[in-house]
Amino acid sequence: MIGTHVHRFDVVIVGGGGAGLMAALQTSGQAHVAVLSKLYPSRSHTGAAQGGIGAALGNLEEDHWEWHMFDTVKGSDYLADQDAVEIMCRDAIDTVYELEHNGLPFNRTPDGKIDQRRFGGHTRNFGEAPVRRACYAADRTGHMILQTLYQQCIKRQVTFFNEFHVLDLIIADGRAAGVVAWNIQSGGLHIFHAKAVIIATGGFGRIFKVTSNALAGTGDGVALALRRGIPLEDMEFYQFHPTGMYRLGVLITEGARGEGGFLLNGKGERFMERYAPTLKDLAPRDIISRCMHTEIREGRGINGEDYLYLDLRHLGREVIETKLPDITEFVRVYFGLDPVTDLIPVQPTAHYAMGGIPTDLDGRVVLDEQNTPLPGLYAAGECACVSVHGANRLGTNSLVDIIVFGRRAGRDALRYIQTADLPPLPRDAADEARAEIEHFLSGEGSEPVAVVREDLRTTMMDLASIVRTEQGLTECLSRIHQLRERYRRTRPMDRGQVFNTDLLETIEVGYMIDLSEALVVSALARTESRGAHYREDFPERNDQEWLKHTLAYRRNGKFELRYKPVRITRFEPKARVY
Ligand SMILES: Cc1cc2nc3c(=O)[nH]c(=O)nc-3n(C[C@H](O)[C@H](O)[C@H](O)COP(=O)(O)OP(=O)(O)OC[C@H]3O[C@@H](n4cnc5c(N)ncnc54)[C@H](O)[C@@H]3O)c2cc1C
């Protein structure tokens, strides 16, 4: 029998990435708060973010948050909720200064201001030409953000439970009441009984075979919410970033094109000039990834194969080594090539989930079309869907999102716990988590979980990635159902409790199956093309029928879809021309 320890806090934050740490900073010193993280916090995926954080500081040329807002809405293919986008673009400016004052070592202009560079889809004067909006620290901006926030958390004595893997959300009397977690180091279940819970568990790129996401990006919090009856919003919108290292998926930041790099096809052509005459290689990611797909399919890949080249050679050694040092090293180490003299083989890589747990403007998790909140439950960061990114996120806008909405969620949770009492702890709070662990640690199973996981990732890549069809998605769904059956028969080899990563990876594959199914069911229903969701059988955007957000519920093993309207405040939907 697995023992259970009980802890009591005001607020429990699940996740030690940018969103979780930012939320923690708002509450520190004012409430009894714990941050739980399955990784040591400074290993969170925020630390892998490279290119920059967008804010209309106007340090190098004129810029305004309204322009940032317009670009974000247009980039989202008009699916983003514009009130949320407005908050994000306005607050981005203060937030970047706040990060600076907390010690973040941004690159500087010669006169000492925060330096800014170009990024995809960010323009001046409502689409005229690229603008310098991305604040950056070389190509390790996320690393610097994460270190800065973590240092501040340590300074302010935030309580961390590192290497605790959350397995369940506790909901009692229609309110959040805590979480159940597994202590990775020593085994054993822990109940964290709390008034408020903030989910900040990041994305789920691992459901695709080629991805830029770290191994931990398995969407745990998103899947746990779904299992507890919370709908998932806009899951069909999954972003592929144009420049993953060929076959590896490791990211080469868009900052490389922001500095002047460009893509080449097998005929040596700068093909993006044909597709997006104004922004060219700085068009939004959904568009470039699709163009790359077309080039490859029409035989213009390199040597007719399924990759293209990124050319940085003309930038010169100085720019490459000082402004893009990390990706330069990746290319040298993994490919044995030198970006100063060689072309870099690239292909689109699964990168970012626009969809996730639906929230309102204060990070409160909402349950339906009327945005009814579930008291005490919050979500922020990549796991959440506010929605500021709509059908396609612009580069640099996720770092803004995690900071702005991590902060708002933390503040609102602090407000909430002032008046809320501690909900009763259900006696069976840990039962489901315990049953899941015991199921995998006992009993007989034949199939290695790694095989199920790789089959899932290949299936998703082949049938539900950049280009989708009804036939492909239907096939994908039936394979996911088979994988779910096979998953039940998997057993970890390691039956111990101490550092049993085999067990935890097995549990993560369960999350990946749930999220893949939610994505495919939502994609199958949406008979139009918008942003990152491209249906070859319905190639046009259809605002008449589809200018709405999907809500996918899972009840008794079956998915049910509902829809809610998009909030439009300033910018009416138009055709997207770049
Ligand atoms: C390679 C790469 C480069 C990027 N570059 C940029 C960029 O330049 N600009 C930009 O705006 N965006 C960029 N992004 C996107 C952006 O970095 C992420 O969307 C963002 O950092 C996510 O932050 P987060 O706090 O939501 O989650 P994360 O930073 O992923 O943190 C998730 C946290 O949740 C914890 N966790 C997860 N599951 C559990 C569980 N079951 N129990 C306990 N803890 C759990 C983890 O331990 C971790 O601490 C990039 C992404 C990648 C992958």
Q: What is the CATH number of the domain that holds 325?
A: 3.90.700.10
* Structure tokens that stand for 164 in this block: 């605790």
Strand order in the sheet with 129-135: 53-54, 129-135, 116-124
Answer yes or no: do 345 and 439 share one domain. Answer: no
Structure tokens at 188: 């054993």
* Atom number in ligand 1 closest to CA 37: 44
Asked, for residue 163, whether it belongs to a domain, the answer is no
How far lies 138's CA from each of 19, 114, 146, 255, in Å?
21, 12, 15, 9
The pLDDT of residue 11 is 97
pLDDT in tens, the chain (578 residues): 677 899 999 999 999 999 999 999 999 899 999 999 999 999 999 999 999 999 999 999 999 999 999 999 999 999 999 999 999 999 999 999 999 999 999 999 999 999 999 999 999 999 999 999 999 999 999 999 999 999 999 999 999 999 999 999 999 999 999 999 999 999 999 999 999 999 999 999 999 999 999 999 999 999 999 999 999 999 999 999 999 999 999 999 999 999 999 999 999 999 999 999 999 999 999 999 999 999 999 999 999 999 999 999 999 999 999 999 999 999 999 999 999 999 999 999 999 999 999 999 999 999 999 999 999 999 999 999 999 999 999 999 999 999 999 999 999 999 999 999 999 999 999 999 999 999 999 878 888 999 999 999 999 999 999 999 999 999 999 999 999 999 999 999 999 999 999 999 999 999 999 999 999 999 999 999 999 999 999 999 999 999 999 999 999 999 999 999 999 999 999 999 99
CB 150 within 8 A of CB 409: no
Which 3 state secondary structure label does DSSP give 118? Answer: strand
Tally of domains within the chain? 2
Tokens representing 396 are: 């640099």
What pLDDT is attached to residue 3?
Answer: 72
The model's pTM is: 0.98
Task: State the closest ligand 1 atom to the C-alpha of 396, by its place in the atom list counted from 1.
Answer: 11
- Domain assignment present for 321: yes
Cα separations (Å) of 98 from 103, 272, 366, 404? 9, 37, 29, 11
Residue 203, amino acid: G
Would you say 272 and 283 are in contact if contact means Cβ atoms under 8 Å apart?
A: yes
d(CA 219, CA 395): 20
What's the sign of the alpha-carbon dihedral 286, 327, 18, 61?
A: negative
Mutate to test the pocket of ligand 1, among 183, 285, 399 (most ligand atoms within 8 A of CB): 399
Residue at a domain's end among 349, 373, 392: 349
Distance CA(8)–CA(450), nearest Å, equals 36
Beta strands in 360-479 (DSSP E): 364-366, 373-379, 384-385
Instruction: Report yes or no: 419 and 10 within 8 Å, Cβ to Cβ.
Output: no
Note whether 232 and 564 are within 8 A (CB). no
Question: Do 439 and 344 reside in the same domain of the chain?
Answer: no
The CA–CA distances, whole Å, from 283 to 36, 161, 277, 288, 291 equal 38, 41, 9, 6, 11
**Domain presence at residue 388:** no
CB atoms within 10 A of CB 299: 11
Cα(486) to ligand 1 centroid in Å equals: 29
How far apart are alpha carbons 249 and 349 in whole angstroms?
5
Q: How far is the CA of 476 from the centre of ligand 1 (A)?
A: 27
**Cβ contact 362:412 at 8 Å:** yes
The Cα 478–Cα 126 span in angstroms is: 44
* Distance of alpha carbon 388 from alpha carbon 46, whole angstroms: 18
First to last CA, the chain: 61
Domain membership of residue 327 (yes or no) is yes
- Among the listed residues 50, 13, 45, the one whose alpha carbon sits nearest the alpha carbon of residue 166: 13
Cβ atoms of 327 and 256 within 8 Å: the answer is: yes
What's the domain range around 340? 243-349
Q: How many CB atoms lie within 10 A of CB 566?
A: 19
Place of tokens 């020593």: 186
* Closest ligand 1 atom number to CA of residue 397: 11
Q: Residue 425's closest CA among 124, 238, 194? A: 194
If asked whether residues 344 and 439 sit together in one domain, one would say no
CA neighbor of 250 nearest in space, from 301, 302, 211:
211
85 φ/ψ sector (left φ>0, alpha ψ -120 to 50, else beta): alpha
Same-domain check for residues 345 and 435: no
Catalytic hit among 175, 257, 285, 290: 285
Mutate which of 398, 404, 408, 512 for ligand 1? The one with the most ligand atoms within 8 Å of its CB, which is: 398
Helix (H) or strand (E) holding 386: none
Ligand 1 centroid from CA 226, angstroms = 19
Which DSSP helix (H) or strand (E) runs through 519?
A: helix 501-525
How far, in Å, from the CA of 220 to the mean position of ligand 1? 12
Q: Ligand 1 centroid to 575 CA: how many Å?
A: 32
Question: Within a domain: residue 534?
Answer: yes
Say whether 124 is catalytic: no
Report the run of H or E that residue 373 belongs to, with start and end.
strand 373-379
Q: Which two tokens stand for residue 349?
A: 């890589």
Give the position, in ligand 1's atom list, of the atom nearest the Cα of 145.
21
Residue 168 lies inside a defined structural domain of this protein = no
Q: Which residues contact 132 (CB under 8 A, 6 or more apart)?
A: 59, 60, 61, 63, 116, 117, 118
How long a stretch of residues is the chain?
A: 578
CATH of the domain at 447: 1.20.58.100
24 domain-assigned: no
Please name the residue whose Cα sits nearest to atom 6 of ligand 1. 49
- State residue 1's pLDDT score: 61
Q: Which of 305, 325, 349 is the last residue of a domain?
A: 349
Cα–ligand 1 centroid distance for 303 (angstroms):
35
User: In this structure, is residue 164 part of a structural domain?
Assistant: no
| Residue in 43, 45, 396 to alter for ligand 1 test, most ligand atoms within 8 A of Cβ | 45
pLDDT of 458: 98
Q: What is the best residue among 14, 44, 165 to mutate for testing ligand 1's pocket, by most ligand atoms within 8 Å of CB?
A: 44
Which residues contact ligand 1 via a Cβ below 6 A? 14-20, 36-39, 41, 44-46, 48-53, 141-142, 164-166, 200-203, 212-213, 216, 220-221, 251, 253, 352, 381-383, 395-399, 402
Strands 53-54 and 129-135: antiparallel
CA dihedral of residues 159, 164, 167, 169 (deg, nearest 10): 0
Residue type, 230: I
Domain boundary among 315, 349, 383: 349
Q: Are 389 and 76 in contact (CB under 8 A)?
A: yes
